[in-house]
Amino acid sequence: MAVDDKMTSMQSPADRLAIRRKGGDAPDERLAATSGLVQMLRRPEAGAAAGLVATMIIFALLPGAANLYSLQGSMTFLTLSAELGIIATAAALLIIAGEFDLSVGSMIGFAGIVIGLTVRELHFPLWGGIATAFAAAILTGYLNGLIVVKTRLPSFIVTLASLFILRGLSIGITRAVTGRTQIPYILDGIPDPGTAAIFNGHLLTGLFQWMGTAGWIATRSDGTPFVAGIPMSIVWWLVLTALAGYVLTQTRYGNWIFATGGDATVARNVGVPVDKVKIWLFIYTACAATLLAAIQVVEAGSADTTRGLLKEFEAIIAAVIGGVLLTGGYGTVYGVMFGALIFGLVQMGIFYTGIDTDWFKVFLGLVILVAVLVNNYIRTKAIGRGASR
């Protein structure tokens, strides 16, 4: 928002005054001056950013900080954040549009199984298996969306059904075909390093090797650095966050997403294709889950029917911590990025500090509660000027 815009509104237009409200409530008096800081605090991601800073400070003061904030430790928690962030960004867009997808976690497991079975049993190349998984995701997302918009049932119920169906299909098919619930050795004997590198490679390996040789970062005895480069999961996360952020704030589709979640009837009346918006976003969440599945399968070399368990809730939590309103119509993806960072940081931080990791879930519950309270407060207080661009 340009500052000069505000200036013009403070000068009364000379003509056209006839219809204006008379008396002492001229616009310049109603427009309280707000400092840059207040404007920043009013942004929907402000709470999550403050939470992230606070969490970082807390763990910096606790034992184990040196390991947590080392290059290796940072990459570990950033990878955790990235894997969550990929699905949380998609979940956030869907929540902003007023719907939930509880089948995200099951979709992660199902997509992994599709990749595993097509590659191991049908002898697809790796790229073919991953492409098949994405096709399954598009179909799943489309059906989720179609059922929600056609039946007008709450998406909570519809995707709860998908959650069980997809998980059941994963276990049922895998056990019927292989007699087990895991599919190991997916990458063995399938030379497709190009595809594998897209999902589990590293970026800037030359730079990290150079830094290792120069003695700036820790290396193994053979001279290779412990951190080979920036993991592709982080690259995917940042790219998807940037794209989603662009679409949400800069394009007409973003306007439609906000409107769909804000008031679907109003949006429909002015010609927003509300149903299409929802179906596309269900497809996006299923595809985001499949991307994460591909990353995990290629990383582990195996697929497991239990992958992605409870991930749908973690995605929703990250979105809520990031300032997305559960009731729809409000939120940013940058906030969700902070939410995912808090999540990854705490998960690894608790590990490095030596606190019993059983306590992680207690912490998680408390964070959700605080995040929702803060969001509620922000919605009522700061919905004013500048909060909704």
Partner 1 sequence: MSVPAMELRGVSVNFGSVKALQDIDIKVYPGEVHSLLGDNGAGKSTLIKVLSGVHRPSSGQILVDGKPVTLRSPRDAQDKGVATVFQDLGMISMMSITRNFFLGREPTRSRLPFSRMDKEAANRIARQAMADIGIDIRDPTQAVGTLSGGERQSVAIARAVHFGARVLILDEPTSALGVHQAAVVLKHIIEARMRGLAVIFISHNIHHAYPVADTFTLLNRGRNRGTYAKADITRDEVISIMSGGEDLKALEADIERLLASIRQPVA
* Residue window 118-157: x/- pattern of binding to partner 1, with contact defined by CB under 8 A: ----------------------------------------
Residue among 131, 389, 102 nearest 250 (CA): 389
* Residue window 297-336: x/- pattern of binding to partner 1, with contact defined by CB under 8 A: --------------------------------xx------
* CB of 266 vs partner 1, minimal distance in Å: 5
- Residues 238 and 79: their CA atoms lie apart, in Å, by 11
Question: 370: which residues sit within 8 A by CB, 6+ positions away?
Answer: 51
- Residues 149 and 154: their CA atoms lie apart, in Å, by 9
Site for partner 1 in 6-45 (CB under 8 A): 6, 8-9, 12-13, 16-21, 27, 30-31
Question: 57: which residues sit within 8 A by CB, 6+ positions away?
Answer: none
Stretch that binds partner 1, among 143-151, 168-176, 266-274, 289-297 (CB under 8 A): 266-274
Residue closer to partner 1 (CB basis): 252 or 361: 252
Q: How many residues bind partner 1 (CB under 8 A)?
A: 46
Residue closer to partner 1 (CB basis): 216 or 377: 377
Tokens describing residue 276: 């299409």
Residue among 22, 80, 19, 24 nearest 340 (CA): 80
Q: Is 40 left (phi over 0), alpha (psi -120 to 50) or beta?
A: alpha
Task: Out of 221, 270, 361, 362, point to the residue binding partner 1 (CB under 8 A).
Answer: 270
Site for partner 1 in 221-260 (CB under 8 A): 246-247, 250-256, 258-259
Q: How many CB atoms lie within 10 A of CB 380?
A: 8
* CB of 301 vs partner 1, minimal distance in Å: 36
Residue closer to partner 1 (CB basis): 158 or 248: 248
What dihedral angle (degrees, nearest 10) is formed by the CA atoms of 40, 44, 48, 53?
Answer: -10
Residue closer to partner 1 (CB basis): 21 or 361: 21
Helix H or strand E segment including 163: helix 155-178
The reply on whether position 272 binds partner 1 by CB under 8 A is: yes
Q: How many CB atoms lie within 10 A of CB 101?
A: 33
Per CB under 8 A, residues contacting partner 1 are: 1-2, 5-6, 8-9, 12-13, 16-21, 27, 30-31, 246-247, 250-256, 258-259, 262-263, 266-272, 329-330, 383-389
